[in-house]
Structure 1
Amino acid sequence: MAGDSGSMPMYEKIFQTLRERINKNEYKAGERVPSEKELCNEFGVSRITSKKALKMLADEHLIVRQPGRGSFVADANSLVMKPFELPQTVRTTGKKRIIGLVITHFSDMYGTELIYGMEEASRDHDAFLVVRRSFGIPELEEKAIQQLLGLGVDGLIIFPAQGEYFSAEILKLVIQKFPFVMIDRYLKGIPASSVSTDNIQAAKEATRYLFGLGHRHIGFLAPPPANTTAIEERIEGIIEAHVEQNLLVNRELWMETITSTMPNVFDPQARIEDVDRLVEHLRQHPQITALFAAEYNIALLVEEAAGRLGLRIPEDLSVICFDSPEPHEGCRITHMRQNQFSIGKQAFENVLTMQGNEQPITRILLPAVLVTGRSTAQVRK
């Protein structure tokens, strides 16, 4: 490529090459693109040149740059147009109502059933649902909200990218009293309706179940709690269950630094590092007889770590988590199954009831159900 550099600047060639790879899905939405240093090595250019190429991609809304983390392919559906490019007059009276959903990500493990519930509610009420993913990246979340507002949606359902720091776009919705409902999380101290699982009660029930099997040295595995109010509530439920039994919580047995399962982490190396840390954690705390994972994908990390240590599940180590893509009958991992379908349906219906009315702020909590699998057993004496 360097031979014809006189006809086109190298930064533009790099830009066109990366754009072509994105268009061909060599880099898919949410995946990391090569860093400035990696581009330097691949194309034999300076950091200034590679940086300029990445800036051009960002200006074209093809990637989102995250300081300290890298650059990621933007969701083409969300960012194909610039914010508010469509006029606010798109919606006219008499047309069917449109509700926008901004969600970090969805899969069989969590999220798909939420959307099924919303779709059923949309059919029941002769309305439409438009979905945009943020991949847990705040900038993508803000752009998705702007995009949907530009389309003239009648309301929004938001699964926030973060739990501690909410985006300016969400706060604008609160100030402007625009109809929206949060799912899975809620805004502390800010008037906004939400629909979620009763995480405190669910975590308490799961911990009681482990106590009933004789487990007393229980580790809890989760991402950093500050990232979601749901995790904070599950921690509260675990602590309350210990208090009921007059037991002290030994948080030295906990790991709250799992990052590879978070929706905004795309580096396969992160999973390897999480498993390595889990192996070391279990070595340092051999008294652990059960692990409570905040989500199913973390439970899978436990299986891998236990296998490396020669620990058998459930004979040597019981494992319980939230949610599972497996059916109720004969499931492998014991879990608290959230009623995602009802959460999605109620969230959609709540947004519709806000139309043209001054509605009171509501927080709806739905129960989770304990589904016993093959990953938990009576503690060995």
Structure 2
Amino acid sequence: MFRLSKPLYKVLYENIKKDIVSGVYKEGDRVPSEKELSQQYGVSRITTKKALELLAGDDLITRQPGRGSFVKRASGFNHKMKVNNQKGEQTALLFGLVITDFDDSYGTELISSLEKCSTKHSSFLILRRSFGKPELEERAIKELVELGVDGLIVFPSQAEYFSEEILKLVIKKFPLVLVDRHLKGISTASVSTDNVAAAKKGTEHLLELGHKHIALLTPPPTDTTALEDRIEGFVQAHAEKGVMVDRNLWLNNITSTLPNAFRPPNFTQDIKKIKDHLVKFPYITALFAAEYYIALMAKKAVKELGMRVPEDISIICFDSPPRRIGDFHLTYLSQDQEKMGQKVFDLLLKLKSKEEQEETPKRLLLDASLVVGDSTAEVSSKKQNKLS
């Protein structure tokens, strides 16, 4: 589903190695089996087997047939180990990253940026996924803090009913940076895209192409500040262009893209929702999808109704995987994940060094860019005639 800059078995190998290095797995501890790792990460047994073989080759684990794999040695591997850099020997820092989930449309590039920054500053980064579940988020934060991380980067699963563990960190003034959203009523550092401005930019593009009947496709917006901001930007663009917003055209019950570790996504059900919506409101000329995979479902729904993109319906969305030659390219709003990772890490280092502990951390917003692809065009004269 997603593409990384290195093979999956190496990513898995590095994750387990970091757990050994940081002390999550101690000498003699059993590490997850090939089957357990396959289920946990959603990869093949071949991938997990290669990762464990690499760890055995590094003399970090011993593989015992019929029993499993066990940490062979961990001496010298802890997050207070000494590392050498141009300034001489220093203590390595260990940071934790808790994210809902990631793929090649959003998240992979952000993690890659954070990893580059971590390597540059001779530190370690431990990744945990919450799949949008508050209880998994709380557990991950608690485990990382107990592990002794020097700071945390958190992509919160919710906005209003925030994690109790996050509140504890704020009270303790623990180095913490939130990513992609902010928590209402809590004063803590955050770095995210300016979602209001980005949504305005995308909506203005459609309005300038002559679209006045635009359907907004979103998951349920409850407690998600990023989504709330995108809706606000959509509304503001209409107001500034003097176009009436028709909320009847909004479809805000798309659920298959919500992160969930316990059930497969039901894309078929959501595609049907979009099809039914287009049949109910045949005068819709454009769809603004809050997420990339919603845009893909919208494109399929349009095709199954015997219409074409963009000739009959234009589609725009947030985020997109890397472009490949010959592919159909959606028009999308590109978030600067590389810069986001850099800003997050820089801010975390400042908080760790107490440079900004005496001040109220600011909410840092980054610009998104509009990438025009094959999925948007002017309203056709045929459609215009029908509407008039």
TM-score range normalised by the length of the shorter chain: 0.7 to 0.9
1:29-44 equivalences under 5 Å are: 29=40
The one-letter amino acid of 2:275's match is V
What is aligned with 1:367?
A: 367
TM-aligned CA deviation for residue 137 of structure 1:
1.3
- Work out whether residues 30 and 266 of structure 1, in 8 Å CA contact, stay in contact via their aligned partners in 2: no
How far apart, CA to CA, are the structure 2 residues paired with 1:25 and 1:193?
A: 36
The one-letter amino acid of 1:333's match is L
The one-letter amino acid of 1:344's match is G
What is aligned with 1:128?
A: 124
The one-letter amino acid of 2:302's match is A
How far apart, CA to CA, are the structure 2 residues paired with 1:242 and 1:188?
A: 26
How far apart, CA to CA, are the structure 2 residues paired with 1:22 and 1:140?
A: 21
Over 3 Å counting, the alpha-carbon distance change for 1:193 and 1:328 in structure 2 is farther
Over 3 Å counting, the alpha-carbon distance change for 1:365 and 1:111 in structure 2 is same
What is aligned with 2:202?
A: 206
> Does residue 311 of the first structure (1) align with residue 307 of the second (2)?
yes
What is aligned with 2:140?
A: 144
What is aligned with 1:24?
A: 35
- Corresponding residue pairs, total: 304
Q: Percent identity?
A: 50
TM-aligned CA deviation for residue 331 of structure 1:
5.5
How far apart, CA to CA, are the structure 1 residues paired with 2:201 and 2:252?
A: 20
1:224-262 Cα distance to aligned partner (Å, 9 max, x none): 111410000011111110111112211110111111001
What is aligned with 1:342?
A: 339
How far apart, CA to CA, are the structure 2 residues paired with 1:186 and 1:26?
A: 32
1:129-165 Cα distance to aligned partner (Å, 9 max, x none): 1111111111111111111111211100000112231
How far apart, CA to CA, are the structure 1 residues paired with 2:347 and 2:175?
A: 9
TM-aligned CA deviation for residue 167 of structure 1:
1.0
After superposition, the CA RMSD in angstroms is 2.3
- Work out whether residues 80 and 92 of structure 2, in 8 Å CA contact, stay in contact via their aligned partners in 1: no
The one-letter amino acid of 2:106's match is Y
- Work out whether residues 331 and 372 of structure 1, in 8 Å CA contact, stay in contact via their aligned partners in 2: no
> Does residue 106 of the first structure (1) align with residue 102 of the second (2)?
yes
- Work out whether residues 79 and 94 of structure 2, in 8 Å CA contact, stay in contact via their aligned partners in 1: no
The one-letter amino acid of 2:254's match is I
The one-letter amino acid of 1:350's match is L
1:6-21 equivalences under 5 Å are: none
- Work out whether residues 257 and 265 of structure 2, in 8 Å CA contact, stay in contact via their aligned partners in 1: no
SS state at 2:266 partner: helix
1:139-288 equivalences under 5 Å are: 139-264=135-260, 267-268=263-264, 270-288=266-284
TM-aligned CA deviation for residue 175 of structure 1:
1.0
How far apart, CA to CA, are the structure 2 residues paired with 1:154 and 1:110?
A: 26
- Work out whether residues 90 and 151 of structure 1, in 8 Å CA contact, stay in contact via their aligned partners in 2: no
Over 3 Å counting, the alpha-carbon distance change for 1:119 and 1:331 in structure 2 is farther
What is the TM-score with the length of structure 1 in the denominator? 0.75
Over 3 Å counting, the alpha-carbon distance change for 1:278 and 1:30 in structure 2 is farther
1:255-306 Cα distance to aligned partner (Å, 9 max, x none): 1111100112654463221111111111000110000000100001101211
SS state at 1:365 partner: strand
What is aligned with 1:12?
A: none
SS state at 1:165 partner: coil
The one-letter amino acid of 1:364's match is L
Deviates more, 1:188-197 or 1:328-337: 328-337
